[in-house]
Amino acid sequence: MYHESRILFHLVFILIIVPSLYSQEAFSPGYVILNSGDTLHGQVRDRDLSRDAIFKKVRFREEHHGTKRYGPYDIEGYRIGDIEFDSRWFEEEAEFFKFFYFCRAGVGEKTFLKVLERGELTCYYREYIDPDSGYPDGYELFQRAGEDHFERATQGILGLKMKRLSAYFADCPSLVRQINNGEIRTPGEMAD
């Protein structure tokens, strides 16, 4: 009996401690950009892969310092490896099964958006935890420089929102033609 309980104790210990040790080591090289514009280089962590969790506040660790947490109100953005995230105001409005996405200062809430392409037309990816499945999910958003709104690029498994994107890019007929002819199938191809 003593031997069996000792084995059970070790098994429980391993199952509880090892994942937490792994998750503590999930920091990657990167940086955070403070609201003052200063950039701090170090190790960054924004999710726990062992639990499919996306943190609301990123963890940042400088060498020989403790870990700090920064939320979207605290920093302009951050980078982990080659992946950049911007802190943006975000508001979603619905009107008869149509959704509209805005980024007006002080309206809605600030959130981190993954930057897929940056330029005159920036393509973001909004990540969230699906309330039904509990797993990470997301969708692409376009924003032109100077605009206070986003245009959603995809409609889930159905692919591109061709009608909405054709209207959004009406000032670029060649792009609209490529969208409607199926030559462009992903948001990344449009942002290039």
Answer whether residue 119 is part of any domain.
yes
pLDDT per position as a tens digit, 39-61: 999 999 998 877 778 888 999 99
> Is the pLDDT assigned to residue 19 strictly greater than 60?
no
Answer whether residue 14 is part of any domain.
no
**Residue 192 pLDDT grade (very low, low, confident, very high; cuts 50, 70, 90):** low
**Residue 23 pLDDT grade (very low, low, confident, very high; cuts 50, 70, 90):** very low
> Is the pLDDT assigned to residue 22 strictly greater than 50?
no
Q: Report which DSSP code applies to 32.
A: E
The CA-atom distances, in angstroms, between 39 and each of 31, 62, 69, 102, 167 are 7, 12, 15, 27, 38
Answer whether residue 178 is part of any domain.
no
Answer whether residue 187 is part of any domain.
no
pLDDT for the residue 133: 85
C-alpha atoms less than 13 angstroms from C-alpha of 10 in its C-beta half-sphere: 6
pLDDT per position as a tens digit, 137-154: 899 999 999 999 999 888
**Residue 25 pLDDT grade (very low, low, confident, very high; cuts 50, 70, 90):** low
Note down the domain range covering 107.
22-158
Answer whether residue 81 is part of any domain.
yes
Closest CA to 122 of 89, 90, 147: 147
Answer whether residue 10 is part of any domain.
no
pLDDT per position as a tens digit, 98-149: 889 999 999 999 999 999 999 899 999 999 888 888 888 899 999 999 999 9
Averaged pLDDT for residues 63-73: 92
DSSP letters, 84-140, are EEEEEEEEEEEETTEEEEE--TTSSEEEEEEEEE-SSEEEEEEEEE-TTT-SEEEEE
Total domains in the chain come to: 1
Q: How far apart are CA 111 and CA 89, in angstroms?
A: 6
> Is the pLDDT assigned to residue 166 strictly greater than 80?
yes
159 — alpha (psi -120 to 50), left (phi > 0) or beta? left
CB neighbours (10 Å) of residue 43?
18
Answer whether residue 77 is part of any domain.
yes
Answer whether residue 188 is part of any domain.
no
pLDDT per position as a tens digit, 2-18: 455 555 444 444 545 44
| Residue 40 · residue 60 · CB < 8 Å | yes
